[in-house]
Chain A
């Protein structure tokens, strides 16, 4: 099997990993902390992360067929590469615990009130493991299929919401007096774009690397536009005041949609939307497996998948018992994520350029 991913797969990988779980709560965050001009903060954050994604893809293209762990050994040496890998592993464990906690919370609050979270967590992690076990190329293809269904369904549903919602709730679109708030709002939006660092485990072929980098850049920008669309339509349906009270504002907004076929329109989200969420969390799981497999190369892949799954499950269940877990995650993860998405790849790129290991892109 060819061991690299295509540009289209990069797009879907980014879309599903970035929107996994954070898409549910982002309308509340924007409504509460920024207000009606939140679209500007989202687009600015998207532009920032688009650059980060471009850097990561640039590095992957410069070392065809290699992941960050492999080419960082060439750039900064074996020891540093191992330190970086350990950092990534810890970070991915944290983010996966957060995503799974969020997933279990959503399922319990909205659809399965009596099913305990630990049961949901165990079943979900087993499925994520089965998917991640198949490897990078298979998961990339999986993203391609799920991604297209997800995007078509989401766009259709939100167009309906756009038609049914109240446009006044998202106006005024821009207030010059709130510009400092919009700029500070970038900090609140960081969370929505965590996941870009998953690209570090997907090797590229190195052919047309300039095009791959542009694809990554435009993909993240598109995701920013997608977020804006989601957030604005949710606020149109719920109202700016009401949206602040719902932790899972997206689902509450979808429930308001009037249609003759489904009484609860969020069943569509339970099916197609959750397929996207599952795919996104699988991306994180896969990243963990890939890094762990490279660190513990003597262990079999299945052992690593089960080991990672066990730790992930234990961590998720443990965090469910901690009351302010979400708050802790939301404060720690953006900083940790910035290190993975920006600091490490940029530093590696600079060192590689200084050492002449990276050529001009094709």
Chain B
């Protein structure tokens, strides 16, 4: 029979054999000892000193003599000044608790040990959002710490039915993942599907919510994202109230939401805070921007190469004059310009802040002015590309910009080969793709197809006082949002 002391020693020996840098504080207590194990970099050492080591030392000195051995339950209940602790017996979990940033207190004469949460991880403070910037509305955004993010959501949602399910994902990283939903609103099928998919993940590690998204989506090969990215806590609160499920990943500043439909990429929380008609105007502007971003350059190629007689004669002559010195055919010119624009976009994203403005000026002068003077591009093409670039930034959800960037090139190619008919064929293929995919059982193109009049009108004209029902296509439990009508 293995004595209790030997068990603690076995655990300590195993940990030492693993060789990961951990700190150990021993306290003699009665006939036995108390071992406090923690990793310095993950622990709030000031709290450890004040609320664990000091009271334990006092306890060990005062309370025990050779005939009395400390018990984990008593210590945890009466001695330690901590709120978040658990008692465990399984010795094989000790390592994972320590690696998780917990402080483990082993007692030589007790099977039970105490796991205390004194985690303190360095993370950036809550700041202004970077991708969901807003003029009106709160500006607190999520950070890389899961607890901080949960606190942001919790203080906005004091709903007893808010459920937080926590999982650890990744064999090596053991990343904490939290699934949030409001139990009496969210669709049960979506919740259970999400839970099933999270639990089925078998991978080394997850670094960011983007990596987790790959495992949760219906199809990884799709160009269009089926989950939303949320940076702001008010947006997260709004989504929870719509019946969506949120997934928070420890170490990621972006929260995932599901289900996500294509028209929802054009929503912004500002639309709810501002006047309803302004919201309508902005939605129309965003839809128009989507089409401009996707089709502007293709339209130019179609007109210049295939359908010259579609535009009035005077414009055709002006266009011919603009293109007189350009050596490339419109298709090649358009592809080149778009390529340069993409280069610029990437360069400005990654350039160090100190030389960022300089790069902006150089690109404007070099590409804008010099290219036209040299006759490499026509002014109209450059204007259209710039407008297309600007239009792509009008989309409030950042995730939609990437598909547009790729599809734009395909559209240009299709138009370059077959004119507007090619563009139409491309649009038809794109449309059939959008209407046939689903996001966690919800049709991706809802409420446009399958059409629902109430949701369609609300997708343009939204005011919480006159929109008593939640979106029908989400199939939530509690369909009613409000009883009052404005």
Contact = CB atoms under 8 A, between A and B. Distances in A.
**Complex contact flag A–B (Cβ < 8 Å):** yes
Interface of A: 1, 6, 8-9, 107, 111-112, 115, 120, 123-124, 127, 130-131, 134-135, 137-139, 141-142, 144-146, 260, 262-264, 267, 270-271, 274-275, 278-279, 282
23 contacts: A107-B421, A111-B420, A115-B418, A123-B425, A127-B429, A130-B432, A131-B428, A131-B429, A134-B435, A138-B436, A139-B432, A142-B435, A262-B310, A262-B311, A263-B309, A264-B310, A267-B307, A267-B310, A270-B421, A270-B424, A271-B423, A278-B424, A278-B425
Given A134-B432, A142-B435, 16 more contacts: A1-B438, A8-B451, A111-B419, A112-B418, A112-B419, A123-B422, A127-B425, A130-B429, A131-B432, A135-B436, A137-B436, A138-B435, A145-B435, A145-B448, A262-B310, A270-B424
A271 B431 CA distance: 14
A165 to B, nearest CB: 22
B419 A263 contact: no
A263 B314 CA distance: 10
A144 B450 contact: yes
Interface of B: 306-307, 309-313, 418-425, 427-429, 431-433, 435-436, 438, 443, 445, 448-451
Nearest to B446: A141
A115 B310 CA distance: 18
A6 B311 contact: no
A278 B427 CA distance: 11
Given A123-B418, A131-B432, A267-B310, A145 B425 contact: no
Say what secondary structure dominates the interface of chain A: helix
Contacts of B424: 270-271, 274-275, 278
B435 A141 contact: yes
B425 A124 contact: yes
> Which 5 residue pairs are nearest across A and B when measured between Cβ atoms?
A138-B436, A141-B449, A141-B435, A134-B436, A267-B310
A123 B424 CA distance: 12
B291 to A, nearest CB: 12
Contacts of B310: 262-264, 267
Given A134-B436, A271-B424, A275-B424, A144 B429 contact: no
Contacts of A107: 421
A279 B428 contact: yes
A44 to B, nearest CB: 31
B449 A145 contact: yes
A141 B444 CA distance: 11
Nearest to A132: B432
Contacts, number: 92
A138 B311 contact: no
A324 B283 CA distance: 52
A112 B438 contact: no
A142 B431 contact: yes
Nearest to A126: B425
A278 B429 CA distance: 11
Contact of B445 (A135, A141, A264, A271): A141
Contact of A271 (B313, B420, B435): B420
B477 to A, nearest CB: 19
A267 B308 CA distance: 11
A14 to B, nearest CB: 16
Contacts of A262: 310-311
A267 B310 CA distance: 7
Contacts of A271: 420, 423-424
Given A107-B421, A124-B425, A270-B421, A263 B449 contact: no
A138 B445 CA distance: 10
B311 A145 contact: no
A278 B424 CA distance: 9
Contacts of A115: 418
A231 B443 CA distance: 37
A282 B431 CA distance: 13
A264 B432 contact: no
A137 B443 CA distance: 11
A263 B428 contact: no
A69 B313 CA distance: 55
Contact of A275 (B422, B427, B450): B427
A146 B428 CA distance: 9
B421 to A, nearest CB: 6
A127 B430 CA distance: 11
B432 A263 contact: no
Contacts of B306: 111-112
A6 B452 CA distance: 11
A141 B429 contact: no
Contact of B449 (A130, A134, A142): A142
Contacts of B307: 111, 264, 267, 270
A6 B420 contact: no
B208 to A, nearest CB: 31
Contacts of B431: 142, 145-146
Contacts of A112: 306, 418-419, 421
Among B313, B431, B435, chain A packs the most CB atoms within 10 A around the CB of B435
A258 B63 CA distance: 101
B428 A275 contact: yes
B434 to A, nearest CB: 9
A139 B449 CA distance: 10
B414 to A, nearest CB: 10
A15 to B, nearest CB: 14
Nearest to A268: B310
A267 B306 CA distance: 11
Nearest to A148: B451
B421 A142 contact: no
Among B307, B422, B432, chain A packs the most CB atoms within 10 A around the CB of B432
B312 to A, nearest CB: 5
Given A1-B438, A267-B307, A271-B424, A142 B450 contact: no
Contacts of A275: 424, 427-428
A144 B419 contact: no
Contacts of B313: 263
A267 B303 CA distance: 10
Given A141-B445, A274-B424, A6 B432 contact: no
Among A120, A131, A134, chain B packs the most CB atoms within 10 A around the CB of A131
Contact of B428 (A1, A127, A137, A264): A127
B66 to A, nearest CB: 74
A264 B448 contact: no
A9 B450 contact: yes
B283 to A, nearest CB: 17
Nearest to B443: A141
Contacts of B309: 263-264
